[in-house]
Amino acid sequence: MQPHMSLASIHRLFKYAVYLLLTANVFIFFAEEYAAAQHQFTNGVAVGQLINAYAATIDTAAWVILLLMFELETAVLSDEQFTKPVSLALHALRIFCYSFIVYAFYGYLVNLEFSVAAVVVPGLSDVCALVADQWAYAVDLDEYETLTTGNCASMSAANTFYRFPEMKAVVDATGLTEIIRLAWVDVINAATWLLVVLVLEADVRLQEHNRLEGLIFRLSNGAKFVLYSILLLAAIYWGIKGDFVDFWDAFLWLVAFVFIELNIFEWRQEDQAASTRPA
C-alpha cells in the first residue's frame, strides 16, 4: 500500500501549483494585450511603447521572478547556501525585477492618462455610422471589438461617444467611466504591491539578522494588514465588474504571498527555537 502524502507535501504541492498558475497568467495577459495593441497601435508597437502596450504582461512576468526569489530566500535555500556569489546573484536579479515592476507601474499611469484623455466625437450620435471606416468599440479596459453592421446596434444606445487619443476606437460615457475606474484600480493595485514588497524586503533583511521582533514586528504586520486589505478590495472590485482574469490573477497573488508570509513565519520560529536551544 502506498503511504499517504504528508501535510507538508500537500502544502508544497498546492503552493507550487499556485506559482505555476501565476506563470500561466503571463501568457494570458500577453494574449489580451496583444489583441488590444492591434487597435491601439495600428502602425506597430515601437520599443518605447512596449510598456504602454504590455504593462500587465511585463509586470506579471517580473513579479513571478521576484516571487520565486522570495521562495528561494525564505524556504528553499538554507543559511549555509547563502554564499557571497549566491547573494550577489539574488541581489542583481532582484534589482532587474524591480526595475521592470516600477517600469510597469509607469505603464499603468500612462494607460490611466490615455483613458482620461478621451474626447467627445463631434456630430456622432449613432455608433453604427463608424462601421464603414472599420472603427472599434471599447467594451472594457484594453478590450476592443471591431464595429460591424451585425454588432454596432448592440454596443450602445447612447447619442454621445468618446474617442481615445490617436485611435479609431470609441465608447459611450458610461463605458468610459468604467474604463477610467478600472485604470485607477490598476494604478492603486500596482502601487500597493510595491509597498507590500518593500515591507517584505525589510522583513527578510531583518529576519536575516534576527531583528524582526517587538515593535518592528508589530508595525510590519499592521502595515501589511492595511496593504493586503486594499489588494483584496481591488480583487473584489474586479470580480464585481466581471473582469475574471484580473480577479483570478489578484486572488492568486494574494494566495502566493500568504505562502511567502508563512515561509517567513516558519523561518522566524526556527531561528527563535535555535536561539533558545542549549549549546
HEC-encoded secondary structure of 54-97: CHHHHHHHHHHHHHHHHHHHHHHCCHHHCCHHHHHHHHHHHHHH
Distance CA 45, CA 123 (A): 31
The grid coordinates of residue 236 equal 473584489
Task: Kindly state whether residue 68 falls inside one of the protein's structural domains.
Answer: yes
Q: Are residues 206 and 106 in the same domain?
A: yes
Q: Are residues 161 and 258 in the same domain?
A: no
Q: Are residues 132 and 236 in the same domain?
A: no
Going along the chain, which residue ranges are E strands? 119-120, 136-140, 143-146, 161-163, 169-172
Q: Which of 143, 160, 175 is the last residue of a domain?
A: 175
Average predicted confidence (pLDDT) for the chain: 85
Q: Are residues 92 and 135 in the same domain?
A: no
Query: Is residue 175 very low, low, confident or very high in pLDDT (cuts 50, 70, 90)?
Result: very high
Contact, 178 vs 241, CB < 8 A? yes
Domain that holds residue 190: 7-117+176-273
pLDDT tens-digit map of 11-66: 788 888 989 999 998 999 899 888 888 877 777 777 777 777 888 888 888 889 88
Rounded percentage of the chain residues whose pLDDT exceeds 90: 33
Task: Kindly state whether residue 278 falls inside one of the protein's structural domains.
Answer: no
pTM: 0.79
pLDDT for res 1? 42
For the cut 90, the answer to whether the pLDDT of residue 236 exceeds it is yes
Distance of CA 275 to the CA centre of its chain: 38
Question: Domain tally for the chain?
Answer: 2
Q: Positive or negative, the Cα torsion across 260, 261, 264, 265?
A: negative
Task: Kindly state whether residue 269 falls inside one of the protein's structural domains.
Answer: yes
For the cut 60, the answer to whether the pLDDT of residue 2 exceeds it is no
Q: Are residues 94 and 217 in the same domain?
A: yes
pLDDT tens-digit map of 3-22: 556 777 787 888 889 899 99
Task: Kindly state whether residue 229 falls inside one of the protein's structural domains.
Answer: yes
pLDDT for res 4? 57
Q: Are residues 140 and 15 in the same domain?
A: no
Q: Are residues 29 and 108 in the same domain?
A: yes
pLDDT tens-digit map of 54-112: 888 888 888 898 888 888 877 776 667 767 887 788 888 888 888 888 888 988 898 89
Q: Which of 156, 175, 194 is the last residue of a domain?
A: 175
Task: Kindly state whether residue 279 falls inside one of the protein's structural domains.
Answer: no
Q: Are residues 33 and 95 in the same domain?
A: yes
Q: Are residues 128 and 153 in the same domain?
A: yes
Q: Are residues 183 and 97 in the same domain?
A: yes
Task: Kindly state whether residue 41 falls inside one of the protein's structural domains.
Answer: yes
Q: Are residues 133 and 24 in the same domain?
A: no
Q: Which of 175, 206, 222 is the last residue of a domain?
A: 175
